[in-house]
Structure 1
């Protein structure tokens, strides 16, 4: 290996790479050398197959799989980066693979295509030594899809190795550069569908930011997020994330939310307070918009709160924890029964007096069935999830522009119901984990056009009350967070008061 290669191998994936094949080099061809593969690569492959075959989410499938198979330590870190990284950069790797095969990629069997993408990520994204990346992936192919497919995988991956990794970006983006199509270039190099690239550029501008930030935003979507904990008020404090004998917590404080702590490792389940529900795993942006919603003042009583779309329960648990401190109660509503069960679990550690009800029902009916019944209503609306692509990388490949039509109709109906359910003087928080203008500014504007009983509240002021004056926000009364600016998911918050 060259000196440059050795330096590359000492990067973020160095330890894992050495644990997965950086040993004595065999003179045998990879197809002859390996008959199977290691547990980490096998787990990553099985995750990719579940994501493709059953629309599963990798962040829900991989952790229990690793636990069940007892894959830990470096192996677990390797499997995590291999699965998530392959999903994030699929578009880029497909552009590379298209130049290395003699057929359209949609004519390659899906399991074989997943193996090729995994191999490409090891070679181009993780800088695993070439012989290890090729031989281990070919061994897995031989074990799972047969000898003939393994020979094909071997040939294609060896084709990738003939071009230096840093030259592939220029090579696959050359047609877009020559055509002057910056959206197409970024779609390939930053591995996002072109319609998502255009939507994010529009969203940046609409929220008062510069379109030149687009590439940084896309790159932030492709960076593996750190695990962020929420220390639920009244239920836990720093001592609960501090090992015995240490004076400092094992996690560092977040940037904006006083409840947020960033875990240096990737196994929150090792913390007892996480296992018993007093501490949770929750993006700091999600915590921040929830706390800002609670910072907005209501006129009159402040005793009964509603989480209209509560599943899977992270915001509901934070609301309930604060409700317990303030002497309020929450009702958590969720339309899908299996997600209602997740809400029950999330609220397991919360004081019973703080939770009035956890129920299954259509949020669109609540305003009609319980008019003016709540002092606060939080609507975390179903959305495209374009703000959480770094956590759910497969979402970018599942969503289409056609999804917006049905989602924005649903969002408007839910927001109308939320406004009807809050009493005059009460507050509604409209939240999405998407920065798409159609799901944020347009939905709110459309609903308010048809009503004369609602006024906007300065959400930026509420966020600053929680996060401090230094939090960078646009010159608007709603708030849009960004991965490349705030280090959070791209959460949106609009605050409204019922007249």
Structure 2
């Protein structure tokens, strides 16, 4: 934003409306557990913010939430009492001010004064002195200077340094490092700079990726609407400058949708795997909200997709995604770990299991601070049960795609190895040939996509064949 922007002029008595909206959204996320993207989209509509105001508000919200842990480390050096003793709404306001001072092109004097005005409006006059003093301390150093002051030494504790410098919890950085090091010497990801590349990519906002429903729309239609073809997916396109996907007719009519390219690639891989004999009955075992279901239903041809989702409201989302697609496809509300169909009923099964979501941190800025290692541990039994059910549900000779939107080793290969270790009727196959043209897929046989290598969410796929 230009330094001549109205936001860098002397603050008015009333708080800046965009900052008010941003602060209120941040409070919904931190205090009420709201999802940032959903809360922000609603707030922008309600406040009728568009153009530069909407972009400014989006960066205030997403940036503050993304860098929250790092900013807390800086604030801990700038506040005279423990951060835990601060009222949560005051801490959120300080984080919002810190983001403007260290990571946005906002004049420091204007940023501090705007935040003091916002404090007076939202929290009362008595909080303004503390906000003014703390943010002026923050403004005395640049982001790099604060990192050099607070972070562990990079040579003695590279994981700790990267965690603070790139705004990821340490346990997440450690998990990513383990995943990147798989098949290589321990510490290779750190030494080569690959781990840092991943963390940097994780802090870049994800592009708006679109997918056509094969047979209903073409990529050319999306291109005519202002998108550019995706790099890897034959059915994908990207809105490079962002904007509302609904303005493209194919998206508005359900003949195309919004879906990360990584999600497209794992669904296409399952549909492309060789299957001998019948190939008319496909199953999506964990279907909500239905993006992969819609792509699979478009690819099954004259066959039928059965989509299973335990939550009724998410099952309705699946139905909405399938509505425009011809065929007698089914949506069942039920528990995928307790099949209501006979064993071996399906030719292909997608098990896109619930996971920590650590592979989608670009688009869910709050998730990195909301998730904990306990979440990974608690999800493991469900992931194993769903994969076990998926293998039982596929016929001999059929294939299962075990998919997670997480690169955490305990949610990916460890789950596959644990389940296959208990069974003698299924085996892991090399999935890499199912991603034609996509580079850097590792040593296999499973596939891990990465933001820094592929520009996608960190989707994982293991291809399993029932014997």
TM class by shorter chain equals over 0.9
**In the alignment, which residue of structure 1 is the partner of 2:425?**
453
In the TM superposition, 1:305-316 aligns within 5 A as 305-316=282-293
What 5-or-longer segments of structure 1 have no aligned partner? 1-13, 243-247
**In the alignment, which residue of structure 2 is the partner of 1:130?**
108
In the TM superposition, 1:49-448 aligns within 5 A as 49-173=27-151, 176-177=152-153, 180-206=156-182, 210-212=188-190, 213-242=194-223, 248-263=224-239, 264-323=241-300, 326-351=301-326, 353=327, 355-366=328-339, 369-448=341-420
Q: Post-superposition shift, 1:253?
A: 1.4
Q: Post-superposition shift, 1:187?
A: 1.4
Q: Post-superposition shift, 1:333?
A: 0.6
Q: Take 2:77 and 2:19, find their aligned partners in 1: how far apart are those partners?
A: 25
What 5-or-longer segments of structure 2 have no aligned partner? none
Q: Take 2:390 and 2:182, find their aligned partners in 1: how far apart are those partners?
A: 25
Kept in 2: contact 1:34–1:136 (CA 8 A): no
Instruction: Look up the SS of the partner of 1:365 in the other structure.
Output: coil
Q: Take 1:239 and 1:19, find their aligned partners in 2: how far apart are those partners?
A: 38
Q: 1:164 to 1:53 in 2, by over 3 A?
A: closer
Richer in helix (by share): 1
Q: Post-superposition shift, 1:112?
A: 1.1
Q: Post-superposition shift, 1:304?
A: 0.8
Q: Which runs of 4+ in 1 moved over 3 A?
A: 17-20, 207-210
Q: Take 2:430 and 2:321, find their aligned partners in 1: how far apart are those partners?
A: 30
Q: Take 1:147 and 1:480, find their aligned partners in 2: how far apart are those partners?
A: 52
Kept in 2: contact 1:256–1:471 (CA 8 A): no
Deviation readout 1:195-219 (Å, 9 max, x if unpaired): 1111110011126594131111111
Q: Take 1:365 and 1:207, find their aligned partners in 2: how far apart are those partners?
A: 36
Instruction: Look up the SS of the partner of 2:427 in the other structure.
Output: strand
Q: Post-superposition shift, 1:65?
A: 2.0
Q: Take 2:43 and 2:320, find their aligned partners in 1: how far apart are those partners?
A: 20
Normalised by the length of structure 1, the TM-score is 0.89
Instruction: Look up the SS of the partner of 2:373 in the other structure.
Output: coil
| Aligned residues between the structures | 461
Q: Post-superposition shift, 1:68?
A: 2.4
Q: Post-superposition shift, 1:179?
A: 8.1
Normalised by the length of structure 2, the TM-score is 0.95
Deviation readout 1:317-339 (Å, 9 max, x if unpaired): 1111222xx21210111111121
Instruction: Look up the SS of the partner of 1:364 in the other structure.
Output: coil
